[in-house]
Amino acid sequence: MTSRVSDLLTGLAPSATLAVDAKAKALKAAGEPVIGYGAGEPDFATPAHIVEAAAAACRDVVNHKYTPTAGLVELREAIADKTLRDSGLRVSPGQILVTNGG
């Protein structure tokens, strides 16, 4: 049987995140004191107040749909206020675009 794997797939580099995570887990298994942030898997339980806040947000129907493309107006207003307060730069909420990522 012939392999039908895309050339694009075979050319992908290994995940740096998974490599860091594997290294942290190996060090931890060897008894080293490691706090691993590689894959977003904390080694402690989520605090109860955070779990409850997330559950409450899930029950609120306002959160049952996508947010506006540019971001929530209240958030963009808060970002504009913080920008003015922290840097003295006056921007309008309409000039702010909220996205995910880093």
pLDDT tens for 21-56 read 889 889 999 999 988 776 777 778 999 999 999 999
Full residue range of the structural domain in which residue 48 is found: 16-65
6 assigned to some structural domain: no
Q: How many domains does the chain have?
A: 2
pLDDT at 1 over 70: no
Render 4-40 in DSSP notation, one character per residue: ---HHHHTPPPPHHHHHHHHHHHHHHTT------SSS
Per-residue model confidence as pLDDT tens digits over 46-102:
999 999 999 999 999 999 999 899 999 999 999 999 999 999 999 999 999 999 875
Report the chain's C-alpha Rg in angstroms.
21
Looking at the domain assignment, is residue 9 inside a domain?
no
- The answer to whether position 39 is within a domain reads yes
- Domain shared by 101 and 76, yes or no: yes
Q: What pTM value is reported for the model?
A: 0.51
Q: Same structural domain for residues 47 and 79?
A: no
- Through-space distance between the first and last CA atoms of the chain, rounded to whole angstroms: 43
Mark whether 53 and 29 lie in a shared domain: yes
CB-neighbour burial class of residue 12 (10 A; exposed 0-12, middle 13-18, buried 19+):
exposed
Residue 76: partners with Cβ closer than 8 Å, 6 or more residues away: 70, 93, 94, 96, 98
61 and 75, same domain (yes or no): no
